[in-house]
Structure 1
């Protein structure tokens, strides 16, 4: 948890250094902080989920951080949903990656809970959540690209 928190502090700055176009990294910091607030609420409500034996804890926190970054990252060649539909329009890029980041954040909370409650179902949940998010993101990108 401490490592994830430290990464959360430097991720917006690091992302701002790696992308070619400037962006509002303060908004990224806000989204990462809101995701972290969700984890702090979960720690208060169900602290048993955050025991070291939880198989979903690491992947849940990692998915949360990746989702928070994905919500605000500008067009680039290394990060985000990179398909022709999103490259053709900065508006489609922003909408699709914001939705993807939000879905990753929501799924991360489920990863932590299911990793503790149903450890045998965790791999199934993990794969289905990631595949589902990718399918939704690609469908949304296709829909936005063919809307005009």
Structure 2
């Protein structure tokens, strides 16, 4: 059986003394170091989360600005395209008007030349008719 004598008390005192020494020399500094490390890790994690949130916000802002820029560019492109179509239509209308005016002018010139040629032929036709009649009849008419 177990007998309680003075050696157990001495061992118990040694164990308690050893626990106190180990606690002050080893466990407290180790716990303090672990606590500081945990605090640093928490700070780093919170800073990383803040950076991540900031990065996400910046990316969203960038994407929104890019979307707005694309829309603005598309609107500007469509505006320029519409202006180009209007200018093209104006140029076509002007060219058509110029061509129509030139055609009218040429038709007028051609008509006047035809009328002049008809009058000249009419005048010559009477002279030719008289000449032909004289040659056929053999005498002056």
Query: The TM-score by the shorter chain falls in which range?
Result: under 0.3
Rg larger for: 2
Please give the TM-score of this superposition, normalised by the length of structure 2. 0.21
RCO greater where, 1 or 2, for CA within 8 Å and sep 6 or more?
Answer: 1
* TM-score for the superposition, normalised by structure 1: 0.20
Which has the larger helix fraction?
2
